[in-house]
Structure 1
Amino acid sequence: MRPSLAQLEAFFWTVELGSAQRAARHLNIAQPTISLRLKELSDFLGIALLERAGRGVRATPEGRALLPRIATVMAELRGIVGHDPMKQIVGPIRVGLAEGFAVTCLPPLLAALLNDHPGLQPEWAVSTSTTLEAQLLRDALDVAVLLNPIGDERLTLAALGAQPTAWAAPSAWGLRGPLAPQDLWSLPIISNPPPSAMHRQITGWFAAAGLTPSRLSVCSSVAVIAELVAEGIGMSLLPERMVARQIADGSIQLVPTVPPVDDGRLFVAVRSGNEDVKIQAVTAIIRKIVLQIGYLRGR
């Protein structure tokens, strides 16, 4: 008996992505299958390959010693199956991601790019959509995933779909819906600063009822806002998938409202007329990943 390619692949991607769950999603197989392959490889070699690291895992010293050899095997495998011309795309590309989208989608997106286009050298920018839109316009980015973009004739927008969005509140508040703007306007609310998509959506939701939130704070990071909500500081309008962990651990609850919140609309944006093959490759991977992980509403 000897280690199988599937076992080596399971170990490589688990270390690369930091968890068996992400490795399973990347390889499009069930997590128990990944766990079984990791155990079989560890038992065969007679060493512990992985250890806990926060909420994920990392290679043990023994595992790290093996990793360069396994990485060589993975590279050779890519070479064997690399007859697809798209796999020969190489060079840097500057990719912007709206932060709420990036928190969930960047790990599988990066893994897919490493696998399908190992010659690409992505440079990631994670920020609010309005910041990314401005960077695209001044040629500081090549392509970006934007949420509810303002729009400019110099940009070409291709719709991805609806990002599930909801009011998120500290579970400790014990809110029971459905709630109206009149029920929430006086509560502490945290938003990205104007003119961000989040700020426009929050203020627009209240404005439709003739109200302005009276205790509105701003923070530039969507991920930090989620942590502030989990700590009981305030509530916010957040992507549902981004706060799945906090919902599961009971620190955040989604609050149904009347009227309901509109889902955010995601677009892939490029400067008009830019038909770089690297942009086409990244766009195709983005579309594949959001379908693969079921990120969009109705997908």
Structure 2
Amino acid sequence: MRITLSQLEAFYWAAHLGSIHATARHLHLSQPAISARIRELETTLEAQLFERSRQRVTLTETGLAALRYAEQALHSSRQLEHFRKSRDLTGKLRIGADECSATVGLTAVITQIKEHFPSLDLEITMDVGSILNSKLNAKELDVALLTNPSTGPEITNRFLGWMQFAWVASPSLPIHADPFRPQDTNGMSIATHSAPSTLHAVVESWLTAGGAQIQSLNTSNSLSLIAKLTASGNAISILPLPLLRDMIAHGTVRTLPCDPRIEPAQFYISYLTATHNSRIDAIVEIACDTLLRMNFLTPDP
């Protein structure tokens, strides 16, 4: 039996999404179809690729090794699919992104876009979600990466995954509450995005869910400034996990396990429906593929 691209695709997304259900939803197929493709691939390779539990699938050591070959094959397939289009496509693509995705994931997405469409000119806008929504609705952007879009009927919103958040503070701050609760913020300086924004809403929602009164918040439209204020010990904050990974690894901030949990935000790629064509389809797939490979998002809330 020959290995097919559909088998590799099912294997690849199951490995990255961690469940057959999430893979079926992403590929718009039934769960039995995904399971069958993976079983066919395992039979051909004479190897078990996953350890299976009731809800999740986890790569075996053999599966991890096989995944690298699957990624190479799928990448080559995508390059071949876009070979003719990449020679012909010209013009400008206006891309918007919130600061977290612009800082952490957009460079990798742009690298892939330029690889497939080298003649395409890119115009990049970084701003908070409310501004990106306004620009999309005003047709000043072709596509945007953002949380919780609020767009009109002329915009198509495709769900990519969940953005996770965490409370963070400087290691120098003597915060000993475990878990960290809303009442523990009393007297503390909290830095967050200016309203209206997803991050501001996340902070307010967490505080009110725990019965705490909203105190004066130090607001800024810059995530990098909020992160610096937090690392310096001048404030505590809720920040997106993708933005925190390097800071946590370098010990500049520490996470505060909290109760209640911080509700994640839905992350989307949104684009003008009127411009929907093979180019947009390809860019959506490139963005989704790249961000998931980076573990920028999680498939489940």
Cross-structure match for 2:269: 268
Displacement of 1:83 = 7.0
> What secondary structure, in the 3-state scheme, does the structure 2 residue paired with 1:172 have?
coil
Instruction: Within 5 Å, give how 1:158-169 maps onto structure 2.
Output: 158-169=158-169
Note if 1:245 corresponds to 2:239.
no
Q: Where does structure 1 differ by over 6 angstroms across 4 or more consecutive aligned residues? A: 80-83
Cross-structure match for 2:86: 87
- The separation in 2 between residues aligned to 1:273 and 1:123, in whole angstroms, is 19
Instruction: Within 5 Å, give how 1:31-180 maps onto structure 2.
Output: 84-88=83-87, 89-176=89-176, 177-180=178-181
Note if 1:288 corresponds to 2:275.
no
- The separation in 1 between residues aligned to 2:81 and 2:265, in whole angstroms, is 37
Percent identity among equivalent residues?
25
Q: What TM-score do you get using the length of structure 2 for normalisation?
A: 0.68
**Aligned residues of 1:189 and 1:213 also touching (Cα < 8 A):** no
Task: Pick closer, same or farther for the CA change 1:153–1:180 going to 2, 3 Å.
Answer: farther
RMSD: 2.3
**Aligned residues of 2:163 and 2:264 also touching (Cα < 8 A):** yes
In the alignment, structure 2 segments of 5+ residues that lack a partner are: 1-66, 69-78
- The separation in 2 between residues aligned to 1:95 and 1:279, in whole angstroms, is 11
Q: How many residues align?
A: 222
Displacement of 1:276 = 3.9
- The separation in 1 between residues aligned to 2:251 and 2:93, in whole angstroms, is 39
**Aligned residues of 1:146 and 1:268 also touching (Cα < 8 A):** yes
Q: Residues 89-117 of structure 1, C-alpha deviation per residue, up to 9 Å, x if partnerless?
A: 32210000111121110221121122121
Cross-structure match for 1:257: 258
> What secondary structure, in the 3-state scheme, does the structure 1 residue paired with 2:211 have?
coil
**Aligned residues of 1:86 and 1:281 also touching (Cα < 8 A):** no
Residue type of the partner of 1:91? G
- The separation in 2 between residues aligned to 1:148 and 1:286, in whole angstroms, is 17
Q: What TM-score do you get using the length of structure 1 for normalisation?
A: 0.68
Note if 1:235 corresponds to 2:236.
yes
Residue type of the partner of 2:182? P
Displacement of 1:253 = 0.8
Task: Pick closer, same or farther for the CA change 1:102–1:249 going to 2, 3 Å.
Answer: same
